[in-house]
Amino acid sequence: MFDWGWPWLFVLLPLPLLAAWLLPRAHGWGGAMLHLPHLGLALPQQREVSPVTPLRRWLALLAWSLLVVAAARPQWLGPPEDVARSGRDLMLAIDTSGSMSIEDMQLGGRAAPRFAAIQAIGSDFIRRRAGDRVGLILFGSRAYLLVPLTFDLHTVGEQLMESAIGLAGRETAIGDAVGLAVKRLRDRPQDQRVLVLLTDGVNNAGELEPRQAAELASANHVRIYTIGIGADRLRVDSLFGSRYVNPSGDLDEAMLTQMAQATGGRYFRARNSEELADIYREIDTLEPAADATQSLRPVDELYWLPLAAALLCAAFAFGAPLAGGAWRKAVDA
């Protein structure tokens, strides 16, 4: 089907006629163009300019009309094609506080910081969200939106991999992270708002308390899945021998569980990389909230056809001297 992208540009068609009617006419070469007060000084006689012939005038008007046609973007629309999308709007909120540097996770058989495990496993989780909008929030002492909701999963994964511990501060503002996620999700359809929050500590910074944030999320129909990360047992070597400590002693599991349950989500515990991967896979199997099928029509832009014709008309009307005297004589005849 033929259509116009910007049909309102056709209002420019009468512009040359309006200019010719409103602007004053230029004087010919017959009068003196420059007054020279010095006696005996004169300029060589200028050649009179030939008047504009009807053919040149019509070619110029035709060139202008074709330029306006090209600017209006003529296009051919193909038949509609349905594009199915799951339509989930999933926001990831990742803790980047100082405790995420504790090396109690395993990657490739070697000890790795918690944040490195999140980056490796989380980026794979993001890649599998084809059809979903995914956003990324980093929170520490403050919460920051790093990537807004987008279908560009490659960019989201890259931004996660390029993030660093302490980028948002060394403390943990869980409530602010939830509040920021709700702000970004509340304009989306109600049954498609999902927040996955991953932390290893307790809320000790920010303006919004986790309980208030959970109430805000529940009121805006945002379902929260919380993940507490960190091992329960870690061997520490010192001059006095080895001992075992609990590196997740500050993890507030009760608070994370309440937040998830208050919004219809779930709380997960990831003590190692394998459990974290299993949790991501389980979240990945959530029943998608189907979005209305989007109908797209392929567009073939045709502006180049009138543009080429306009340039050709302009060349014939104004570029005659370049082509030699034969065409000028024919046009001026």
pLDDT tens digit string along 213-236?
999 999 999 999 999 998 887 776
Which range (138-152, 272-286, 296-310, 319-333) has the least confidence?
Answer: 319-333
Quick one: average pLDDT of 265-290?
A: 81
Residue ranges and CATH numbers for the domains of the chain are 52-79+297-333 (no CATH), 89-284 (3.40.50.410)
Q: Three-class SS of residue 33?
A: coil
Quote the percentage of the chain above a pLDDT of 90: 33
Quick one: average pLDDT of 95-123?
A: 88
Count of all residues that appear for the chain in the document: 333
Asked whether the beta carbons of 136 and 160 are under 8 A apart, the reply is yes
Tell me what pLDDT residue 217 has.
Answer: 95
Q: Which amino acid is at 224?
A: I
Residues 148-151: contacts with CB under 8 Å, at least 24 apart: 148/184, 149/89, 149/91, 149/184, 149/185, 149/188
Spatial separation of the C-alpha atoms in residues 265 and 288, rounded to whole Å: 14
Cα angle 75, 78, 79; round to 5 = 150
Tokens of 220: 């805006």
Bridge partners for 237 per DSSP = 242
pLDDT digits (tens, 9 = 90+) for 133-165: 899 999 999 999 999 999 899 999 999 999 999
Quote the percentage of the chain above a pLDDT of 70: 80
**Count of CB atoms within 10 A of residue 278's CB?**
14
pLDDT digits (tens, 9 = 90+) for 171-212: 999 999 999 999 999 988 887 899 999 998 889 999 999 999
pTM: 0.61
